[in-house]
Structure 1
């Protein structure tokens, strides 16, 4: 199962997410759920870098896959934070949709 954990502050701003595991829906290279989650998670990091001019702290397990951690920096401008929050909330809601469609394979925690 894939688990996505989001950390947010008291105002509802998401500051980090961690995605672990494999869905087990299909063989590696054929798994549409793993592919969907991977694309959403990685493209969120890339979009924040391009649109908010902010490089997140990222840790991933390249050799075996199944792990991604991304965290925003603390000293963002108001505009960088605003753009980042839109993209991070988009990721959360998108993964929530995947989890609702495939509840046996994806779990979201906030």
Structure 2
């Protein structure tokens, strides 16, 4: 099962952690894992490439099943607006996945 946690600070998403595997299908056929992977990687890429934010990212590239992302406090209004849009979209997507596939993923918000 995937354990997902989304952190908030002052009303903004400030980071997220993902651990585990969905085990909703065979390797390469697991749609829950694919959905979470695509959403999280796209979020990290968007924050870095579109919003221009220097994130703290920790992952287990060899075994998979672990990703931790921390967003710094932003003093740049334009970057903050972009980051909020990207991170709120991530949070909405994760809520949708968790509702549709609750057997394979749990989502906690802090």
**Residue-pair matches, total:** 109
User: Counterpart in 1 of 2:50?
Assistant: 51
Structure 1 length as normaliser, TM-score?
0.93
Q: Matched residues in 1 for 2:51 and 2:17: separation?
A: 20
Q: Give the Å deviation of 1:75.
A: 4.2
For residue 3 of structure 1, what is the aligned residue in structure 2?
3
Moved more, 68-77 or 33-42: 68-77
Cross-structure match for 1:85: 84
RMSD: 1.1
Deviation readout 1:42-66 (Å, 9 max, x if unpaired): 1101011121111211000011000
State the alpha-carbon separation in 2 of the partners of residues 6 and 84 from structure 1.
14
Question: Which of structure 1's runs of 4+ aligned residues deviate more than 6 A?
Answer: none
Structure 2 gap segments, 5+ residues each = none
> Gaps spanning 5+ residues in structure 1: where?
none
Give how far 1:96 is off.
0.6
State the partner residue of 2:23.
24
Give, in whole Å, the separation in 1 of the partners of 2:67 and 2:86. 16
1:73 Cα deviation (Å)?
Answer: 1.8
Go from structure 1 to structure 2 and tell me whether the alpha carbon gap of 1:89 and 1:30 turns closer, same or farther (over 3 Å shift): same
Give me the TM-score of the superposition, normalised by structure 2.
Answer: 0.93
Shift of 1:5: 0.4
